[in-house]
Structure formats: C-alpha cells, structure tokens
Chain A
Amino acid sequence: GIDCTGDSRMCCRKEFFVDFKEIGWEDWIIQPEGYHMNYCAGLCPLHMAGIPGLAASFHTAVLNLIKASNADAAVDSCCVPTQRRPLSLLYYDRDSNIVKTDIPDMIVDACGCT
C-alpha cells in the first residue's frame, strides 16, 4: 500500500493517531497510550479498480482500463482498507477488573481500490 504524502491524490493510507490522554481515556485504558487508527483516502479511477496499491500488475491496470473504456455503465471504485490488524487493549471495565483483549481489524495497514 501507499502512504499519503503532501502531493498525493491517488488512493493512499493516511495516518491518524488517537491519543487516549488527549480524549481523556487514559484513566480506564491502561495500555496502549493511543490508537493508530489510520484511514484510506484518495482517488480511485476506474482503471485502478482491484489494485491494492502500487504493487499490482501493470497488465491488470491495462485490462481494467480497456474494460472501463468499454463499459456501458461506470461502476464506482472506492479507496478502502485492504490490510488491517488487531488492536490490543488492556483496560479497566466497569467493575475495575482488568481486561486484556485483541479487537480484530481495527488498525488500517494498507489501502487499495475496490
């Protein structure tokens, strides 16, 4: 996947960190100190459909471009997460018990076009 840079307009991963202290949650979440949420943003032209970032085959892009040119009705392609990983949390619950759990698919690691 591609990480967004200043001049990037194509589909990429934008980093977004939620600091638990900043939102006043540090009293009940013991670890970690924040959440690297991240999200996907950017353009997905139709010929990029099905391409998970730059790693995709050039031939796939060309074939998609031909398909797009011939398509009667254009289908939207979206910039979405293609790779995610869990967020591990150690926190106090309502009864002040300590709970450790891994919440699946919470951190966006890579983005691509649908």
Chain B
Amino acid sequence: AVSGGTGCPACSLAALAPGARRDALLALAKRNILSELRLQERPSVSRPPSRGALLAALSRASTRRPLPDTPPALSSRTQRYQVLSFAESGSSSPGRIRLHFRFTQELGRSIEVLQASLYLFWASPSPGTHQVTVKVLQPDLSGPNITMVSKTWLEMQRAGWASLDVGEAVQSLFSNGRQRLTVELETAEDLGSPLLAGQSDSHWPFVAAQARDRAPHRVQRR
C-alpha cells in the first residue's frame, strides 16, 4: 500500500494523514521483521526458559571458540543465526536420561549449521572420573523406529559444564527436514542422575548452534 502508484515509494506515504502514516509504517515494520525471520506470524511464547537458564546459556555460548572468518563477499549479505535450544525431559530410568531438543521449521533446509554444541552440567555426588555415554538419536519419519546418529563418551572428572560437538547431527536433522533431536545419556546406575536431578534451572542442558543462510549459487565467468 505504501509503494502504490507510479511515483516514488515514499510519495504515497507522504500523502497520508499522520495517523494513517504511522499505522502504515508500523504495519510495514512488523511485516518486514516477520518476513526476514521467515515467520508467518509472531511466535506465541508458551514456555520461555527461566532467566537463570537463559543467562547461564548465553554466558556459556559466548565463551566458545570463534568461527573461521567468512569471505567478505559472503558475509555482507549472508544472514547468520545463533540458536539456544533448551532440553525437554523425555523418558528416563535409573542411569538413563532422554532429552529432546526441538528446532523450528523456519530454520530448516535453507540454513547451514556452522557449529553446534551440547552443554551438560555434571553435578557429581562422588569424586573420581565418571563416564557418560552420549547417544544422538533421530526418530524415523516413517515409523516408531529411532536411528542412532552418533555415540560418544564424556569423561566427567569434577562438577561443572561439559560440552560436546553435535554439529553434524544438527545439520543432518535440518537437511532431512526433521525438527527434533533426541539425546540419550547413560551413566552408571548407582550414581543416580547427576545430569538432571536436583539441579537448578540455571544448569539445564542446552544446545547452542551457529548457522547461516545457505550461500546462493554463484555464477563464474571465464
């Protein structure tokens, strides 16, 4: 509506009464932001993470190693994203915990994952080195089966945060149009659940990912 007519884009805006102009600009601002974020409508935030979890995650994520430089030609127009996804608890049994991470479709096939790390806080009740088996699982789209994408071991020596690279798993998730990543953690049964039980919100597990829009196809002239 703003750019209608044959004149310049701002001409029809100038012709509007101040109130209508303000409404038009607000509508334009909303539409631009949603469109650039690939959202059909504003998200309704039903279960925001606690302030403690958010601050801890931002603090941990900001201390990661920097990404390699992007060529200037790409970086100027390539939109980048940093995503923090907090775990939802799944089924658990003594010594075994399942965590689910959900990613929205808007950040799906069109983005390239540059880096993704899973952060876990270990509140060990006993001293010594403990091994945690970390399995990254993806549910099959066609049925109830679950595919194991990777299996790694973490050695926890003292209480604190540990991180694990899950970049390939998250990229594979996005490439296949899936939205949910499942992580299964296994510890020795007699330890209880030092990864979740009794922990404050600020120690809640999360995945921190960095991504960017896929580079457009480039045509080379010879």
Contact = CB atoms under 8 A, between A and B. Distances in A.
Contact of A104 (B29, B46, B54, B77): B77
Contact of B26 (A23, A87, A99): A23
B8 A99 contact: no
Interface string A72-114: 0000101110000001010111111111111110100000000
Given A18-B26, A39-B13, A79-B10, A97 B85 contact: yes
Interface centre among B39, B43, B81, B86 (most CB of A within 10 A): B43
A87 B36 CA distance: 11
B19 interface: no
A51 interface: no
Interface in A21-60: 23, 25, 27-28, 35, 37, 39-42, 44
A103 B79 contact: yes
Interface residues of A, number: 34
Contacts of A94: 39, 43-44, 104, 106
Tell me the interface secondary structure of chain A in the complex: strand
Interface string B32-52: 110011010011111111000
B116 interface: no
Residue of A79, A97, A101, A103 with most partner-chain B CB within 10 A: A97
B71 to A, nearest CB: 16
B120 to A, nearest CB: 17
B81 A101 contact: yes
A76 B8 contact: yes
Nearest to A40: B10
22 contacts: A16-B25, A18-B29, A18-B30, A28-B43, A37-B28, A39-B10, A78-B8, A79-B10, A80-B8, A91-B37, A92-B45, A94-B43, A95-B179, A96-B86, A97-B102, A98-B57, A98-B84, A99-B83, A100-B81, A100-B82, A101-B79, A102-B80
